[in-house]
Amino acid sequence: MSTVNIINLHKRFGELEVLKGVNLSVRSGEKLVIIGPSGSGKSTLLKCIIGLIKPDRGDIYIDNVRVTDPKTDLIEVRKRIGVVFQSNNLFYHLTVLKNITLPLIKVHKLREEEAIKIALRVLKEVGLEDKVDSYPAELSGGQQQRVAIARALAIKPRVLLMDEPTSALDPELIDEVLEVIERVSKREITMIIVTHEIDFAEDISDRIAFLDGGVIVEEGPPHEIIYNPKKRRTREFLRRVLRKRIPISANTHL
């Protein structure tokens, strides 16, 4: 488990200023959910944490390691962080098993037998032990995401980052992935999850942060953010993503 501290993070892409001073600290073992409209900088923020994007200003610390320090060995940082992206997580030319063992062997320098043992164990945890020899394109989107989660768990991460892990999925496949994440969230592991699944966020998170316009607009315990947001922007956003909860009668005049 690790703590993650983000201090006054700025990032601009040309004309577009994506992050305008993000401050966020995540306690060890905390499950933080980040919500926010598209283009608000959620993905950029996550990519900054693992050093895939270099911020213009500000700092990120994981435990006491300054990720934003140019002298920091990012590979050592990444070895302890599991990441699941929205889509295209798996290497299409490798079987499910190889997808999981490749980083274990090449990055973590495990022997092949050891890597296979770990891979089989994590696949079992996500309920896909029968798919070891399948190729990613032979799996459903939901199964692909579960393999990606298994791969992230295989390295025994201290921090797990998820960038909209269910946003690219067909509606009927979302639940199987959320169930797996929910099970993972019971573990002692620091998690930062970007998602639009508000019910899910309420269930698993210790805290929700609302990111909009490149800053954290509001953060707090899930029930407070969801049912009693203080800021107008948070309220408006939640109303948009929760539109399914609007009673049918309210729409009859349309």
Partner 1 sequence: MVFINSVYDILYFIISITPFLLRGLVNTLRIGIMSFIFGFLLGMVVGVCRVSGGRAISTIATSYVEVIRGTPLLVQILFAYFGLPFIGIKLSPSIVGVVVIGINSGAYQAEIIRSGILSIPQEQLDVAKALGMTNLQVMRYVILPQALRNIIPALVNEFVTLIKDSSLVSVIGEVELTRCGEYIISRTFRPFEVFFVVALLYLVVCFTFSKIASLLERRVRVPGYFKVYRW
Q: Which residues bind partner 1 (CB under 8 A)?
A: 47, 50, 52, 75, 78-79, 81, 83, 85-89, 91-93, 102-103, 106-108, 134-138, 151, 155
Give least dist CB 45 to partner 1, A.
Answer: 14
Question: Which residue, 31 or 47, is less far from partner 1 as judged by CB?
Answer: 47
Question: Which residue, 53 or 241, is less far from partner 1 as judged by CB?
Answer: 53
Give least dist CB 130 to partner 1, A.
Answer: 16
Question: Which residue, 43 or 195, is less far from partner 1 as judged by CB?
Answer: 43
Hey, is 186 helix, strand or coil?
Answer: coil
Half-sphere exposure at residue 129, Cβ-oriented, CA atoms within 13 angstroms: 9
Give least dist CB 111 to partner 1, A.
Answer: 17
Question: Which residue, 163 or 218, is less far from partner 1 as judged by CB?
Answer: 163
Number of DSSP helices (H) and strands (E) in the chain, helices first? 9, 10
Give least dist CB 19 to partner 1, A.
Answer: 17
Question: Which residue, 61 or 91, is less far from partner 1 as judged by CB?
Answer: 91
CA 188, 154, 50, 183 dihedral sign is: negative
State the DSSP string of 100-163. Answer: HHHHHHHTS---HHHHHHHHHHHHHHTT-GGGTT--GGGS-HHHHHHHHHHHHHHT--SEEEEE
Radius of gyration of the chain (CA): 19
Give least dist CB 135 to partner 1, A.
Answer: 5
Distance CA 29, CA 206 (A): 10
